[in-house]
Amino acid sequence: MTMGESGDKSTDFTETPFTVSVSRLQGAVVVRLVGSCTMEHADRLTDQLVEIASQPKPLIIVDMAGLDFIESTGLGGLVSGYLRARKNEGEIRLVSPPPFIHHILQLTRLTQLFQVFDNLQKAIEQP
């Protein structure tokens, strides 16, 4: 789903393909989410995050800058990853959620589980 700029009253409902890409950076695993994480794709997010979080002491940075939609199953995937990472003495941090996704994180109080950063470097360097 692509959204107009803030204040733009036009609507565009074209969903964008959902991709999850994984890379390593300075000891962290960076999981970059792009597109629309709709009900069809949320289970894939859960499976991939849980798998990554199953490593010993994982530091996982979820880059949400390219994410344009997420629903509750996708949020549940983040939580499942959080639980697995915590079990393995690790952590998941979130980076650059767009405003409407940040609002959902606040509304659901998931900001109590996840630290949210405005850029990748800060998220990695945070002790």
Residue type, position 116, single letter: V
Closest approach, Cβ 98 to another protein, in A, equals 11
Interface with another protein in residues 45-74 (CB under 8 A):
46, 69, 71-73
Torsion sign over Cα 35, 89, 110, 8:
negative
The smaller minimum CB distance to another protein, of residues 55 and 111, is found at 111
Structure tokens, 93: 């941090």
Closest approach, Cβ 32 to another protein, in A, equals 22
Piece in contact with another protein (CB under 8 A), picked from 20-28, 58-66, 89-97, 109-117? 109-117
**Cα separation, 56 vs 23, whole angstroms:** 17
Kindly report the CA angle at 87 between 36 and 63, in degrees rounded to 5? 30
Q: Does 75 help bind another protein (rule: CB under 8 A)?
A: yes
Structure tokens, 33: 């989410």
Closest approach, Cβ 70 to another protein, in A, equals 9
Interface with another protein in residues 19-48 (CB under 8 A):
38-40, 46
Contact 15, 35 (CB under 8 A): yes
**Cα separation, 117 vs 57, whole angstroms:** 20
Residues near another protein (CB under 8 A) are 1, 3-4, 8-13, 38-40, 46, 69, 71-73, 75-77, 79-80, 82-83, 100, 104, 107-110, 112-113
